């Protein structure tokens, strides 16, 4: 079993009281006191098109915004005088011990947020001993990420084409990944009009507006895009077994072919070939979670793709208790709208085994590369530690729905 990097025992007093002691950091990170603070800084540093791609969602953003609002509907019922001097947020999943119950969600095109963004995110997670999931729409070869951060997971978008499925699964296994996450909520592309209004498309199509967007952000242009181009035009490296389309193109469209053919029979096929841990991501319905279990999944991630697919889809948090009840002891994970340690704790209290965070860590990478992501991880860990103490619990296994009540 892999051991967590942090030793069990009493939380250092200085860390426990850091929330009122000021920051010892310098530069941009000195003003980042919570994950939300990264977004404003990233918005200034990134071209409008790139920021719009990260922040945008489908149509009226109803689902994206409800992901956040769902957490605000729950209030805590803390217990006092419980002696919480010795507390830990360590947890285990798939036989691996992790330092905290959260990880970094898969995010496509992270290499345009900061130089070698996929590796930045992966290495920061590796150093903190939390999971990182590499996106199938990343611009960095999966083999390079696996070499830089061997404990990373891989997330795949798959067509309903058996030979292409088999080839990609074989490549993922050969690269050394132990956990395969299959995303199932994108049979067709969502109506991401907000992203298009910001000037983003995949692939990026050269034009005066896009060029000015880059020139007006020289730090990003030189520090991220130009450095990336020195290694050649970036491509979508991991959509299939073979290399995909280039990120900048006037004519080549991304290959979404036959994703609407993908069905449960293909999950069974993947299960027969994949020897590692199999996670199905994009589940919202309890019935689908049961189907995932019956087709051989080891776990599910409740997700609506960060609000980027079906606008009006319900928040994962709102269906979490029903899904947990439906699947028994199969691990249920969740993403979408998580910004604070209190969000993580609420999800765990409602039955989630693990929580994944996306956009904030992308912003953190854009602001300060690996140190930015590491700082974000530390902030979230510190919040969870405080929250456990103030709830009157010393470990994650003590959390339950008894610690929550609905505000409304």
Cite the active site residues: 305
Residue keyed to tokens 């970094």? 104
Q: Binding site annotation covers 90?
A: no
Contacts of 212 (CB under 8 A, 6+ apart): none
Q: Concatenate the DSSP letters of all residues of 133-154 into one string.
A: EE-TT-SS-HHHHHHH-TT-EE
Residue 183 annotated as part of some ligand binding site? yes
303 known ligand binder: yes
Name the CA radius of gyration of the chain, rounded. Answer: 21
68 marked as part of a ligand binding site: no
266 is in an annotated binding site: no
Is 337 marked as a binding-site residue?
yes
* Residues linked to residue 182 through DSSP beta bridges, in sequence order: 156, 280
Q: Is 106 annotated as a binding-site member? A: yes
Q: Strands 299-302 and 133-134: what pairing?
A: unpaired
Strands 354-357 and 153-156: unpaired
* Distance from C-alpha of 56 to C-alpha of 196, rounded to nearest angstrom: 9
Residue 358 annotated as lining a ligand binding site: yes
| Distance (Å, whole) CA 192 – CA 49 | 13
Of 365, 387, 56, 24, the residue nearest 198 (C-alpha): 56
Q: Is 107 annotated as a binding residue?
A: yes
Residue 155 annotated as part of some ligand binding site: yes
63 assigned binding-site residue: no
Known binding-site residues for glyoxylate equal 53, 157, 192, 305, 308
Known binding-site residues equal 53, 106-108, 135, 155, 157, 183, 192, 281, 303, 305, 308, 335-339, 358-359
Known binding-site residues for FMN equal 106-108, 135, 155, 183, 281, 303, 335-339, 358-359
């Amino acid at each position: 079993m892999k051991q967590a990097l942090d030793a069990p025992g009493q939380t250092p007093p200085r860390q426990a009281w850091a929330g009122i002691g000021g920051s010892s950091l310098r530069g941009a990170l000195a003003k980042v006191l919570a994950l939300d603070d990264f977004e404003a800084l990233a918005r200034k540093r990134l071209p409008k098109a790139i920021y719009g791609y990260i922040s945008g969602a489908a149509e009226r953003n109803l689902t994206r915004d409800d992901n956040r609002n769902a957490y605000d509907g729950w209030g805590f019922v803390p217990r006092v005088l419980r002696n919480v001097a010795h507390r830990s947020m360590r947890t285990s999943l798939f036989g691996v011990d992790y330092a905290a119950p959260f990880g970094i969600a898969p995010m496509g095109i992270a290499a345009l947020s900061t130089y070698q963004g996929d590796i930045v995110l992966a290495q920061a997670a590796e150093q903190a001993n939390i999971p990182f999931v590499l996106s199938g729409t990343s611009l960095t070869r999966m083999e390079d990420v696996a070499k830089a951060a061997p404990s990373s997971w891989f997330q795949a978008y798959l067509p309903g084409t058996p030979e292409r499925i088999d080839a990609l699964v074989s490549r993922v296994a050969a690269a050394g990944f132990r956990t395969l996450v299959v995303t199932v909520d994108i049979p067709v592309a969502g109506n991401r009009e907000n992203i298009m209004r910001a000037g983003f498309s995949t692939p990026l199509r050269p034009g005066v507006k896009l060029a000015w967007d880059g020139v007006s952000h020289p730090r990003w242009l030189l520090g991220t895009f130009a450095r990336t181009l020195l290694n050649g035009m970036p491509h979508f490296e991991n959509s299939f077994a073979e290399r995909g389309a280039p990120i900048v193109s006037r004519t080549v469209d991304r290959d979404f072919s036959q994703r609407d053919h993908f069905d449960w029979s293909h999950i069974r096929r993947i299960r027969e070939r994949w020897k590692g841990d199999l996670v199905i991501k994009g589940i919202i319905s309890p019935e689908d979670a049961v189907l995932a279990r019956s087709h051989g999944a080891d776990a599910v991630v409740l997700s609506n793709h960060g609000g980027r697919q079906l606008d009006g889809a319900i928040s994962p948090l709102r269906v979490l208790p029903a899904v947990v009840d439906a699947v028994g002891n199969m691990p249920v994970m969740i993403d979408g709208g998580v910004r604070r340690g209190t969000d993580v704790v609420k999800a765990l209290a409602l039955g989630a085994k693990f929580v994944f965070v996306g956009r904030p860590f992308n912003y953190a990478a854009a602001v300060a590369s690996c140190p930015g992501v590491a700082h974000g991880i530390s902030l979230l860990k510190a919040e969870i530690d405080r929250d456990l103490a103030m709830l009157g619990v010393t470990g994650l296994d003590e959390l339950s729905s008894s610690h929550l009540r609905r505000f409304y």
